């Protein structure tokens, strides 16, 4: 006689189901990045990007490629990393010049994986421009320029980096989005819109490539004290080191999205429920 199984007991799983679960767990495990060796930073002088690189290489020596606009700042960033014990090189990249995008990726992957069997473990996409403080809708060309630097170039670079990571059999792509991507500020909505395009693209890309062993991590900082925000202040302001810490933890775990500080998410979610009439008065 067979007794019915109590409702709280899970049904026994077949060998095929257990094998599937193991494969899923292994695939998930493969996407975690704890101790990368080779890192590419697109936006090679970004303060947040460099903090992420340093955090990933804490206590170890990394092979780093900094892709950015040639100049003193880029050269100084390479020098500083080398002085700290890393191997670092620069490759040229200008967001406003699309002829540099593919060579920058080729140079980054070639340079970072020069030895046989070497591969890029993490690509950090950090290039971006801040709003210039003027009402964006009053200057169409400045609004379009933000889209070029914050959306068009990063979208192409994210797609190109993901393709290369797929081709080498896996790796991680960290995309510096913004809390403003989820809720644009009324005062600089062109900036929010430009980040929203990148955020949506990266979120779609994440699902498209995860089956190929490629991890896409979207990082949404609120206000971070860097030269990008120099001269301004904000409630819930955080540091580049804190963003780097949260990013490294997320890479070692399973999160798809990082908010920095974590409380920024609650603020953005809460703002969804504030009536537009009140928001207009608050000028948020």
Ligand X SMILES: NC(=O)c1ccc[n+]([C@@H]2O[C@H](COP(=O)([O-])OP(=O)(O)OC[C@H]3O[C@@H](n4cnc5c(N)ncnc54)[C@H](OP(=O)(O)O)[C@@H]3O)[C@@H](O)[C@H]2O)c1
Which residues lie near ligand X (CB under 6 A)?
Answer: 43-49, 68-69, 73, 93-96, 126-129, 149, 176, 178, 221, 223-224, 226-229
Residue number with CB closer to ligand X (5 or 227): 227
Distance CA 264, CA 223 (A): 9
Nearest to 228 by CA among 242, 239, 217, 219: 239
Strand partners, 125: 42, 175
Positive or negative: CA dihedral 216, 53, 127, 101: negative
Residue 271 CB, nearest distance to ligand X (Å)? 16
Pick 109 or 223: Cβ nearer ligand X: 223
To ligand X, the closest distance from the beta carbon of 16 in angstroms equals 45
- Report the nearest approach of ligand X to the CB of residue 54 (Å): 13
Closest to ligand X by CB, 5 vs 73, is 73
Q: Return the number of the residue (14 or 72) whose C-beta is nearest ligand X.
A: 72
Question: How many other CB atoms are there within 10 angstroms of residue 254's CB atom?
Answer: 11
> Cβ 112 to ligand X, closest distance in Å?
18
Q: Closer CB to ligand X, residue 71 or residue 169?
A: 71
CA distance 102 to 104: 5
- Give me the least distance between CB of 73 and ligand X, in Å please: 5
Closest to ligand X by CB, 93 vs 202, is 93
Radius of gyration of the chain (CA): 21
């Amino acid at each position: 006689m067979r007794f019915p199984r109590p409702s709280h007991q899970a049904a026994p799983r077949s060998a095929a189901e257990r094998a599937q679960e193991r494969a899923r767990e292994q695939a998930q495990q493969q996407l975690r990045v704890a101790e990368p060796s080779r890192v590419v930073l697109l936006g090679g002088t970004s303060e947040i990007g460099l903090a992420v690189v340093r955090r990933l290489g804490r206590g170890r020596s990394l092979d780093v490629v900094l892709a950015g606009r040639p100049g003193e700042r880029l050269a100084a960033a390479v020098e500083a990393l080398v002085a700290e014990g890393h191997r670092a090189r620069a490759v040229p990249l200008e967001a406003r010049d699309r002829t540099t995008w593919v060579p920058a990726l080729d140079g980054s992957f070639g340079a970072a994986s020069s030895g046989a069997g070497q591969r890029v473990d993490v690509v950090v996409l950090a290039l971006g421009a801040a709003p210039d403080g003027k009402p964006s809708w009053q200057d169409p060309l400045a609004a379009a320029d933000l889209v070029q630097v914050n959306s068009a170039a990063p979208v192409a670079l994210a797609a190109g980096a993901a393709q290369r990571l797929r081709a080498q059999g896996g790796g991680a792509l960290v995309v510096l989005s913004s809390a403003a991507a989820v809720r644009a500020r009324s005062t600089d909505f062109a900036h929010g819109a430009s980040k929203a395009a990148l955020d949506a693209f990266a979120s779609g890309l994440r699902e498209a490539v995860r089956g190929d062993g490629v991890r896409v991590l979207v990082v949404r900082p609120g206000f971070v004290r860097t030269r990008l925000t120099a001269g301004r202040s904000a409630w819930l302001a955080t540091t580049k080191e804190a963003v780097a810490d949260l990013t490294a933890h997320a890479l070692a775990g399973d999160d798809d999205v990082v908010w920095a500080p974590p409380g920024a998410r609650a603020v953005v979610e809460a703002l969804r429920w504030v009536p537009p009439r009140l928001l207009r008065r608050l000028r948020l």
